[in-house]
């Protein structure tokens, strides 16, 4: 039996090549988010368990089955399974919602004790974008259009938008009664989870993933027939704004999302490119959540996007990533060259904007160093030998083309490299 350590089930090491891909796409997402005036916050991984019980809902898979919860000197603490509740808690804690509107975002790991499978892990990463204090459908549209802009920017074309409205508490109460009446009529056909949820939260039955339940769910009453007038007007306003922006969508009356705090607008960006894990980005309104967690009544809406699925979708749509490699690799052979090369690398980092320099460490023959240079992926090798050092020059050898090595005065090297970075870098 091997003693080699393993990762914890459902957890993944993000190794350098993959991490570079994540960094590339994360920077694209951040650019889009901040172009709309949203500001970053950084949140703790741990919250008091009550934050999630009160917000997500007791009768949800997350709270019932999936949270990592433990006792800490009498306090029940939970690794965050999602970010919205934490964002709201932070806003209340620090008074961010008092007579203020906020546009906030965060990114980081979340934790759910689910059965690991492709595209679904126990530690996963999410972007979370939230807007608090905005009542109208215009903010709903902005958040959705922000996603549409991201797909367009990255050439992601295998996504489609589904929207729905869940109304306010009063209209949901009416809808709840209609669902209870319907599901009681087919109770003998319900699975165990649905029977358990029937009286506590029948809307969760609509979110069932059991294939045997799909026909039953499809025949259930729809929320849109029970909407209050204000919610219906809000939903119509959202659709008008999306139409005006040229954003295609489908109204999905079965879309309820899996968390209890949602009200009015809910939406999902879904894809056929990732198998059964079809939701890439999803969210909605949670106008009652701030008050529920102890703050003042504050309208709010947000969305979350899984980083792992986002990266997979980008690749499935033919997306490519820039090469991540040093621009130059410094080779030094002979007496006194190592010290000069070490100092030269620092000079180049100071003088050449954006230059990535890798320096040979640990010595070695010229042949061995050139092998390392090639393996590094660098565009050029800088070759410093005793003769070059004596003459105040250095060899510049292209590694990705058949061009000949040049001899360059050390005094001119920074300028030459800057010019090459600005437009003459070999493919």
Domain borders along the chain are 16-168+228-316, 328-421
Write the class of the CATH domain 328-421: alpha beta
User: What's the DSSP call for residue 223?
Assistant: G
Choice among 86-90, 191-195, 269-273 with the minimum mean pLDDT: 191-195
pLDDT digits (tens, 9 = 90+) for 36-66: 999 999 999 999 999 999 988 776 778 888 9
Pick the CATH number of 16-168+228-316 from 3.90.1310.10, 2.60.40.10, 3.40.50.300, 3.30.930.10: 3.30.930.10
Task: Tell me which residue of 401, 396, 408, 404 sits closest to 426, measured CA to CA.
Answer: 401
Task: Tell me which residue of 249, 245, 246 sits closest to 268, measured CA to CA.
Answer: 249
For the cut 90, the answer to whether the pLDDT of residue 291 exceeds it is yes
DSSP 315-347: HHTT--------SEEEEEESTTHHHHHHHHHHH
Assigned token pair, 129: 């974008």
For the cut 70, the answer to whether the pLDDT of residue 427 exceeds it is no
Assigned token pair, 41: 């916050």
pLDDT digits (tens, 9 = 90+) for 124-168: 999 999 999 999 999 999 999 999 999 999 999 999 999 999 998
Q: What is the per-residue pLDDT for 338?
A: 93
Contacts 24+ apart (CB under 8 A), 186-194: 186/216, 189/216, 190/216
What's the rounded Cα separation, in Å, for the pair 409 and 320?
37
Q: Residue 131 in 3-state DSSP? A: strand
pLDDT digits (tens, 9 = 90+) for 320-378: 998 889 999 999 999 999 999 999 999 999 999 999 999 999 989 999 999 999 999 99
Q: Which helix (H) or strand (E) holds 405?
A: none
What's the rounded Cα separation, in Å, for the pair 311 and 296?
37
Assigned token pair, 188: 């003998």
What's the rounded Cα separation, in Å, for the pair 324 and 206?
45
pLDDT band at 1 (very low <50, low <70, confident <90, very high): low
pLDDT digits (tens, 9 = 90+) for 368-380: 999 999 999 999 9
């Amino acid at each position: 039996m091997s003693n080699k350590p393993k990762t914890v089930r459902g957890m993944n090491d993000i190794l350098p090549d993959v991490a570079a891909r994540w960094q590339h796409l994360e920077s694209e997402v951040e650019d889009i988010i901040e172009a709309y005036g949203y500001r970053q916050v950084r949140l703790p991984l741990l919250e008091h368990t009550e934050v999630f019980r009160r917000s997500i809902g007791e009768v949800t898979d997350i709270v019932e089955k999936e949270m990592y919860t433990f006792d800490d000197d009498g306090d029940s603490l939970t690794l965050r399974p999602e970010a919205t509740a934490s964002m709201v808690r932070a806003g209340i804690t620090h008074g961010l919602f008092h007579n203020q509107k906020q546009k906030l975002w965060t990114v980081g790991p979340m934790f759910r004790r689910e059965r690991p499978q492709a595209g679904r892990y126990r530690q996963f990463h999410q972007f979370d974008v939230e807007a608090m204090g905005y009542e109208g459908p215009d903010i709903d549209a902005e958040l959705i259009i922000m996603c549409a802009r991201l797909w367009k920017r990255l050439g992601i074309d295998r996504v489609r938008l589904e929207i729905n409205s869940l109304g306010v508490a009063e209209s949901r109460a009416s809808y709840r009664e209609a669902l209870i009446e319907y599901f009681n009529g087919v109770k003998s056909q319900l699975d165990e989870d649905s029977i358990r949820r029937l009286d506590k939260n029948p809307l969760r039955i609509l979110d069932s993933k059991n294939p045997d339940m799909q026909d039953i769910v499809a025949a259930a009453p729809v929320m849109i027939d029970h909407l209050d007038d204000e919610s219906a007007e809000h939903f119509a306003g959202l659709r008008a704004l999306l139409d005006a922006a040229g954003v295609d969508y489908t109204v999905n009356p079965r879309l309820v999302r899996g968390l209890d705090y949602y009200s009015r607008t809910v939406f999902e960006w879904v894809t056929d490119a990732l198998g059964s894990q079809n939701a890439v980005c999803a969210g909605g309104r949670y106008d009652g959540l701030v008050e529920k967690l102890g703050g003042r009544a504050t309208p709010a809406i947000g969305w979350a996007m899984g980083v792992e699925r986002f990266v997979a979708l980008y690749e499935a749509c033919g997306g490519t990533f820039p090469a991540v490699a040093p621009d130059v690799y410094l080779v030094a052979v002979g007496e006194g060259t190592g010290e000069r090369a070490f100092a030269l690398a620092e000079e180049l980092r100071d003088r050449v904007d954006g230059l990535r320099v890798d320096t040979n460490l640990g010595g070695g023959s010229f042949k061995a160093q050139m092998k390392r240079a090639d393996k590094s992926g660098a565009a050029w090798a800088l070759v410093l030998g005793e003769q070059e050092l004596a003459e105040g020059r250095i060899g510049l050898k292209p590694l990705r083309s058949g061009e000949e090595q040049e001899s360059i005065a050390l005094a001119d090297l920074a300028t030459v490299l800057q010019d090459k970075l600005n437009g003459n870098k070999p493919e």
